[in-house]
């Protein structure tokens, strides 16, 4: 249950209402971002991240050469069988970046790649360089070989590039591949289980842009194949663990999260899409149950998921180690995807609360401030053994975080027939089409450093509709829905909303403040969300965090890094009566709010027969910024007493 105690001059209902409101997203191509926090990151994607991806894709590895060879019909395949997907994700990121920052050279590079991709496509629509170069007679024989996964990323790239540039070549290539898959598999008596999900959500995107229902039906067909013993390949034959790729039970019967985290996120994103578009209660109920299992029992405070490196996913409930945390960047990206769909499906802001947590913490940590180094896993503690790298053999994460950051405009707004939803507080402008006319919106602020925001509402004509402003979950008592993490002290937060300078009374529902009125040109809404430093404790079942505390301000989780704390943090603890100070440092880590408190550092006592704590100034930085100044110790969860000082041992 979402536990919020807002003094918003609003009547608050504490009942959890399950809504079947189905919202429409505002596409990235319709959002103009002008934000002090996000614009530098969008610029860095263009100037550093994408050049790094292009160099690795085209020069350092054989990914583009594979398409050239496939077009020529000769040569040896270079790399891993799923490497085509990285090309497509890079193209998708380029598409999003071009919308924010037009770049003729970057667009020309993308167009050149697209020509090579199109040339490698077979006459029947099939496109996969691994099988083209290793024998087309072997295609569609091993369900683990990521053919449908690569096809999904091709489709996503085609749709994004069309939206960003209006160019159709890649979209048409992806449509031909989707037609090939449909003609090959959606036949009587034919079965296929994709080892790595992705095709499902991609086909929904293709349906949205083409309005051809066969793509929606094909996406549903892929979901319906799972859980019936149809799987074949290494996962099923050697591992004998269908739960690894969510194939142990039919999707509609699933009640808990299992297996590989990224595969799960992609599949449940597609299932939420299909539940919304097809009105399928089976998918709706399954998504709600699985979401609760993830968020209530298996999510890190950073919004990261997947604690286990052995299966790149989930183990048992409440198993959330910090230094050994896997927390793949792609899984956090998937959490953003899935929770967006769950919000569109239900109209409930709790899903955006989780999306925001994953976006600003678990996902953003995967990208260095320089834009050209990456984390694959994102631990919550380190003895100095973790560092970002320029690339990986399996390079899913660099292009994935690039496309997420570049497409952040996708997650800010939504709308229904008679309501506009403001979900994220990123300075931006857009226009939403309501039943009674279009409405222009302009949002300004300095989030996440400040909770003071201004909204300008400009309908093309005066008319009545509802503005729904998300009331962030971090204003309440529970740090996360379901109480896996809660704020140590119950501190009712005063959030104030005013329209044209007058504070308004408003209803709150499902995590939104509702302002229903006749809106006119140049109406202004001001919002103030307080941002005190909050201390977080975990449920007792999370044994790794007992006698420990994490701190959060606004949407940002903080970390203590050795470089700011005398070289180490494992010798320190935060007493229960700690008082925190915040200050903004514009020249540190791209500009951040630091949090400081007087903690305790451990040394031998004067008698020489024990330990005692001496005062030590402790400094915390936003978690996403750690490891940008070299390797060293880091902790998110700090001890509360001497007896809790320890470095986690490996499982």
> What size, in residues, is the chain?
651
Q: Calculate the alpha carbon distances from 12 to 9, 160, 396 in Å.
A: 9, 40, 43
Question: In Å, what is the CA distance from 370 to each residue of 57, 136, 334, 373, 628?
Answer: 19, 42, 23, 7, 8
Distance between CA 544 and CA 648 in Å, rounded?
8
Closest CA to 444 of 436, 453, 435: 453
DSSP run (H or E) holding 573:
strand 572-573
- Cα 283 to its chain centre, rounded Å, is 21
C-alpha span between 465 and 417 (Å, rounded): 9
**What pLDDT sits at residue 492?**
65
Output the CA–CA distances (angstroms, integers) from residue 64 to 57, 61, 77, 80, in the order listed.
Answer: 6, 8, 11, 13
How high is the pLDDT of residue 218?
98
The pLDDT, as a whole number, for residue 648 is: 44
SS3 500: coil
What residues have CB less than 8 Å from 43, skipping those under 6 apart?
101
What per-residue confidence (pLDDT) applies to 602?
83
Q: Are strands 506-509 and 419-422 parallel, antiparallel or unpaired?
A: unpaired
CA–CA distance, 448 with 590 (Å, rounded to integer):
13
Low-confidence ranges of the chain (pLDDT < 50): 1-20, 647-651
Thinking of the domain 413-528, which architecture would CATH place it in? Sandwich (2.60)
Q: Whole-prediction pTM value? A: 0.94
In what side-by-side order are the strands of the sheet with 506-509?
A: 10-11, 506-509, 512-519, 463-470, 419-422, 413-415, 24-25
* Residues 574, 348: Cα–Cα separation, whole Å: 36
Contact 428, 35 (CB under 8 A): yes
Would you kindly state where each structural domain of the chain is located, as residue ranges? Answer: 28-185, 413-528, 547-644
Query: Are 431 and 405 spatial neighbours (Cβ–Cβ below 8 Å)?
Result: no
> Can you say how many angstroms the Cα of residue 289 is from the centroid of all Cα atoms in its chain?
20
Alpha-carbon gap, residue 182 to 173, rounded angstroms: 14
* pLDDT value, residue 642: 81
Instruction: Give the per-residue pLDDT at 15.
Output: 27
Give the per-residue pLDDT at 440: 97
How far apart are the C-alpha atoms of 136 and 129, rounded to whole Å?
Answer: 10
DSSP 8-class letter at 299: B
Q: Check residue 589 and give its pLDDT.
A: 97
Q: Coil, helix or strand for 219?
A: helix
């Amino acid at each position: 249950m979402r536990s919020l105690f807002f003094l918003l001059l609003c009547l608050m209902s504490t009942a959890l209402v399950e809504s079947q409101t189905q919202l429409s997203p505002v596409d990235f191509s319709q959002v103009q971002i002008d934000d002090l926090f996000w614009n530098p990151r969008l610029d860095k994607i263009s100037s550093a991240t994408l050049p790094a991806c292009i160099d690795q894709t085209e020069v350092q590895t054989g990914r583009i050469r594979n398409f050239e060879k496939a077009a020529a019909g000769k040569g040896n395949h270079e790399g891993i069988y799923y490497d085509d997907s990285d090309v497509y994700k890079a193209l998708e990121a380029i598409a999003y970046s071009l919308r924010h920052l037009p770049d003729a050279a970057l667009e020309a590079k993308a167009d050149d790649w697209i020509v090579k991709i199109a040339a490698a496509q077979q006459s029947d629509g099939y496109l996969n360089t691994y099988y083209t170069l290793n024998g087309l007679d072997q295609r569609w024989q091993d369900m683990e070989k990521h053919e449908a996964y690569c096809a999904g990323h091709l489709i996503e790239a085609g749709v994004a590039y069309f939206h960003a540039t209006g160019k159709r070549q890649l979209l048409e290539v992806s449509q031909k591949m989707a037609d090939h898959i449909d003609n090959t598999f959606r036949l009587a008596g034919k079965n296929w289980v994709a080892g790595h999900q992705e095709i499902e959500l991609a086909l929904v995107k293709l349906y949205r842009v083409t309005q051809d229902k066969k793509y929606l039906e094909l996406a549903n067909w892929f979901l319906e194949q799972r859980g019936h013993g149809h799987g074949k390949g290494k996962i099923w034959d050697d591992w004998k663990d269908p739960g690894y790729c969510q194939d142990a039970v039919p999707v509609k019967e699933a009640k808990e999260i299992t297996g590989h985290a990224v595969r799960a996120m992609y599949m449940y994103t597609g299932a939420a899409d299909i539940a919304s578009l097809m009105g399928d209660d089976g998918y709706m109920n399954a998504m709600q149950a699985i979401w609760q299992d993830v968020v209530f029992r298996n999510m890190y405070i950073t919004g990261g998921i997947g604690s286990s490196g052995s299966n790149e996913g989930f183990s048992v409930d409440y198993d959330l180690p910090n230094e050994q945390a896997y927390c793949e960047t792609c899984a956090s990206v998937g959490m953003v995807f899935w929770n967006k769909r769950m919000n569109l499906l239900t109209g409930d802001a709790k899903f955006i609360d989780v999306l925001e947590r994953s976006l600003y913490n678990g996902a953003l940590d995967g990208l260095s401030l320089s834009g050209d180094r990456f984390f694959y896993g994102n631990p919550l503690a380190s003895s100095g053994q973790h560092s970002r790298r320029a690339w990986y053999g399996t390079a899913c994460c660099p292009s994935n975080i690039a496309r997420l950051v570049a497409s952040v405009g996708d997650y800010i707004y939504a709308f229904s027939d008679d309501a506009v939803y403001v979900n994220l507080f990123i300075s931006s402008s857009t226009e939403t089409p309501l039943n009674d006319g279009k409405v222009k919106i302009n949002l300004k602020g300095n989030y996440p450093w400040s909770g003071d925001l201004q909204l300008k509402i400009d309908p093309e004509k005066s008319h009545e509709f509802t503005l729904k402003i998300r009331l962030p979950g971090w204003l309440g008592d529970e740090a996360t829905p379901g109480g896996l993490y809660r704020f140590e002290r119950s501190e009712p937060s005063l959030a104030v909303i005013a329209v044209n300078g007058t504070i308004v009374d408003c209803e709150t529902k499902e995590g939104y403040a509702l302002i229903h009125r006749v809106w006119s040109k140049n109406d202004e809404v001001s919002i103030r969300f307080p941002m005190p430093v909050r201390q977080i404790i975990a449920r007792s079942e999370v044994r790794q965090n007992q006698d420990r505390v994490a701190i959060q301000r606004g949407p940002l989780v903080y970390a203590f890094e050795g470089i700011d704390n005398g070289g180490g943090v494992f010798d320190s603890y935060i007493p229960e009566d700690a008082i925190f100070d915040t200050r903004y440092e514009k020249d540190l880590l791209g500009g951040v709010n630091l949090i400081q408190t007087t903690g305790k550092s451990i040394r031998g006592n004067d008698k020489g027969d024990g330990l005692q704590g001496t005062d030590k100034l402790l400094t915390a930085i936003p978690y996403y910024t750690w490891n940008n100044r070299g390797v060293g110790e880091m902790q998110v969860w700090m001890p509360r007493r001497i007896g809790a000082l320890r470095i986690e041992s490996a499982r």
